[in-house]
Every structure is written in structure tokens, then in C-alpha cells.
């Protein structure tokens, strides 16, 4: 995260901020539910090589106990989490869960939060063109009046896909873990990424994870620290899709793909004897093969080597991550 965004001098231009007259609810009260999160991650953590050891973003208070919903990558493998309210009050928190399949994370505040939790809305009701409030910690000056540009699938290079994601414009520069709030003051999504294709004209914007996806995993995430489902296969690949060519862009150093002998620039032809036509189809083949631990047979085209068949034993990604260490 860009640390300049933490500076109190930074703000959304006043003409782009929501006004009290735009809404029928108490805007300041709702925006106070969005808090600043800072996390420290050990240098030898699996995610440190990509996401760094110091992460800063946002979270949203969703119940009276101080449970905070955020983007999971902000808190994955964190040894310490600090929560700062809009009045400057700071307290520690515990990581409850990072759920890789959805991309959500939960933090429990270790103390009373003097803020009213936001209500969970219904992300299926919002339609393209509808106004929406994109709120980062810091109140109105860090909040933008945006609009939903599209609802469509999202596929990421890191073995991640959503059947439906929310895309908003204009781009908000402090998107990580921010709250996507409808015009009734309800939380309908959590900010996840900056994207360059938020609309039909390749416009810059943000991708957010819809709140209805969280509702389906809220209870097990809170009670057992997972989605409650059997872990799906994970290979530790970063995959690129360019001009109908699916190729390996990188690998997690401790992941199964690196150990199996894949090389960067290998072009993926098939998986488990099924043709790979795009990145999403590749993931679907892997995830439909069974639970984590299944062996996936992947045929690649390697420069100067021709076609090569590689068998890779998948793993449960969570088993490679550092477990949350609860504060006493």
C-alpha cells in the first residue's frame, strides 16, 4: 500500500466526495465504521515475498463485538494487527480468518470500538450505472461518490476467480479493504484491487468482492476460521493470459509447481487431458479434480523442448501459511 495515503493531508477532491444531501442516512456515522488496518508479517512468511511485511489498508466494522471485515491479503500471516478509528483511537486486533477462495479476511478488535457497525446489504440489487459510495478510513475526505460500471466474473493470475465481482469508477486510490456502500448506507462489497478494465471502454477503476459472497461463509469463517468447505487444490502458480496463450509467469518458491519442475514461460496446453482454452477454464479443471492433495497432470509447451507432461501434487494453500497467533 502507498504510505502517502495515510497522510492526513491526502483527500478525495471535495467535488467527488459524497454530500449529506445525497443520502437519507447519517453519513458520518456510517463512514465511521470504516477503519484503518496495519499489519506486520514475518519476513519468512509465504506471502511476504509478494505482499511485503508491512501492509496498510482498510476494514469495516460489521458487528457490536468489534468484528472487522477486510481484504484477506492485508492480514494473511500477520503476527500483529492494529486498528485505528477515525478519531485516532488505536487498539490491537487478532486475525480470525483469511479465506483464500473468496478473498475475505476477518479481524477481531481486542477492545471496545466506539463506533456503530454497518449493516450488510444485498449486492445482487445494485445494477450498472447505480451510484455507490467507496469509503476508505478517514471519513468523508477519504470517501468517493462512485458508480457501478459492471458486474462480471473476475479471474486473477494467482489461482483466484470470482463468478461475479463489482467494478466501480472512477478509481479510488486507497481501495484495499475499503467499504463499498449503497445509497441506503449498507455494506455491499469490500475493495480488493485496482483494475484497468473496470468498464467497457478499458477505463481505470476498482474491483470489489460482493458482500453476498461473504454471507455464504460468514458463520464458518467466524467460528472455525475457514470457509467450512474441503480445501481445493492449489499449485502455487502465477499464470498470464495473452492473445489466447496461457503461460506461467511465476511460481511460489515453496509451492508444489516450483518443486514439480515447471519453468517460467511454459505455455499450458491441457490439464488432466482437458484442453485449456482460457485462464478460468484452467482453474476450473484444477478445482474440479477433487480436494487438495490430488495430482494434476499438466501438459506444457516449452521453448526448444516441445510438449512436456508434468504431474504435480496439489496442496491445501492454508497449510503453507503461518497460523494466526492470538494475543492473550
Instruction: Give me the percent of the chain exceeding a pLDDT of 70.
Output: 96
By CB neighbour count within 10 A (0-12 exposed, 13-18 middle, 19+ buried), where does 196 fall? exposed
Of the CA atoms within 13 Å of residue 103, those in its CB half-sphere come to 26
What is the average pLDDT across 298-323? 94
Are 251 and 207 found together in one domain? no
What is the average pLDDT across 264-284? 97
Could you tell me which residues come within 8 angstroms of residue 321 by beta carbon, excluding any fewer than 6 positions away? Answer: 45, 46, 47, 76, 77, 98
* Domain finish residue from 172, 195, 226: 226
Identify whether 232 is part of a domain: no
Predicted local confidence at residue 327, as pLDDT = 60
Predicted local confidence at residue 54, as pLDDT = 97
Are 40 and 156 found together in one domain? yes
* Domain finish residue from 226, 247, 265: 226
| pLDDT tens string 95-153 | 999 999 999 999 999 999 989 999 999 999 999 999 999 999 999 999 999 999 999 99
Predicted local confidence at residue 4, as pLDDT = 39
Three-class HEC string of 69-130: EEEHHHCCCCCEEEEECCCCCEEEEEEEEEECCCCEEEEEECCCCCCCCCEECCCCCCCCCC
| pLDDT tens string 47-74 | 998 999 999 999 999 999 999 999 999 9
Location of C-alpha cell 465481482:
165
Are 207 and 96 found together in one domain? yes
| pLDDT tens string 264-273 | 999 999 999 9
Are 22 and 138 found together in one domain? yes
Cα 75 to Cα 55: distance, rounded to the nearest angstrom: 8
Cα 284 to Cα 281: distance, rounded to the nearest angstrom: 5
Are 148 and 251 found together in one domain? no
- CATH at residue 270: 2.30.42.10
Identify whether 71 is part of a domain: yes
Are 35 and 175 found together in one domain? yes
What is the average pLDDT across 285-307? 95
Query: Is 90 exceeded by the pLDDT of residue 292?
Result: yes
Q: What is the pTM of this model?
A: 0.94
58: left (phi over 0), alpha (psi -120 to 50) or beta: beta
When divided into structural domains, the chain yields a total of 2
- CATH at residue 190: 2.40.10.120
| pLDDT tens string 193-202 | 999 999 877 8
Are 192 and 259 found together in one domain? no
Contact by Cβ (8 Å): 194, 175: yes
Are 176 and 291 found together in one domain? no
Peptide bond before residue 15 is cis, with ω within 30 degrees of 0: no
Are 25 and 72 found together in one domain? yes
Are 219 and 241 found together in one domain? no
Domain residue limits at 296: 237-320
Contact by Cβ (8 Å): 118, 60: yes
Are 201 and 277 found together in one domain? no
Are 123 and 258 found together in one domain? no
Amino acid at each position: 500500500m502507498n504510505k502517502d495515503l495515510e497522510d492526513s493531508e491526502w483527500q478525495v477532491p471535495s467535488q467527488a466526495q459524497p454530500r449529506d444531501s445525497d443520502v437519507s442516512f447519517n453519513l458520518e456515522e456510517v463512514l465511521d465504521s470504516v477503519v484503518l488496518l496495519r499489519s506486520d508479517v514475518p519476513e519468512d512468511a509465504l506471502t511476504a515475498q509478494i505482499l511485503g511485511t508491512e501492509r496498510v489498508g482498510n476494514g469495516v466494522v460489521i458487528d457490536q463485538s468489534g468484528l472487522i471485515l477486510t481484504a484477506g491479503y492485508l492480514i494473511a500471516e500477520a503476527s500483529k494487527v492494529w486498528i485505528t478509528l477515525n478519531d485516532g483511537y488505536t487498539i490491537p486486533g487478532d486475525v480470525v480468518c483469511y479465506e483464500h477462495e473468496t478473498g475475505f479476511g476477518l479481524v477481531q478488535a481486542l477492545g471496545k470500538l466506539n463506533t456503530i457497525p454497518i449493516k450488510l446489504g444485498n449486492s445482487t440489487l445494485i445494477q450498472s450505472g447505480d451510484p455507490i459510495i467507496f469509503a476508505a478510513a478517514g471519513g468523508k475526505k477519504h470517501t468517493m461518490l462512485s458508480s457501478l460500471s459492471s458486474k462480471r466474473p473476475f479471474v486473477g493470475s494467482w489461482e483466484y476467480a470470482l463468478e461475479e465481482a463489482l467494478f466501480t469508477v472512477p478509481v479510488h486510490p486507497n481501495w484495499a479493504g475499503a467499504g463499498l456502500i449503497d445509497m441506503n448506507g449498507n455494506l455491499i462489497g469490500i475493495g480488493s484491487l485496482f483494475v484497468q478494465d473496470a468498464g467497457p471502454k478499458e477505463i481505470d477503476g476498482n474491483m470489489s468482492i460482493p458482500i453476498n459472497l461473504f454471507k455464504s461463509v460468514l458463520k464458518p469463517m467466524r467460528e472455525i476460521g475457514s470457509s467450512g468447505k474441503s480445501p481445493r487444490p492449489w499449485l502455487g502458480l502465477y499464470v498470464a493470459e495473452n492473445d489466447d496463450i496461457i503461460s506461467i509467469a511465476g511460481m511460489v518458491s515453496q509451492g508444489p509447481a516450483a518443486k514439480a519442475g515447471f519453468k517460467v514461460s511454459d505455455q499450458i496446453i491441457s490439464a488432466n487431458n482437458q484442453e485449456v482454452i482460457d485462464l478460468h477454464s484452467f482453474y476450473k479443471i484444477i478445482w474440479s479434480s477433487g480436494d487438495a492433495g490430488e495430482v494434476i497432470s499438466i501438459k506444457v509447451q516449452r521453448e526448444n523442448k516441445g510438449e512436456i507432461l508434468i504431474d504435480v501434487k496439489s496442496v491445501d494453500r492454508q497449510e503453507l501459511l503461518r497460523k494466526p497467533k492470538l494475543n492473550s
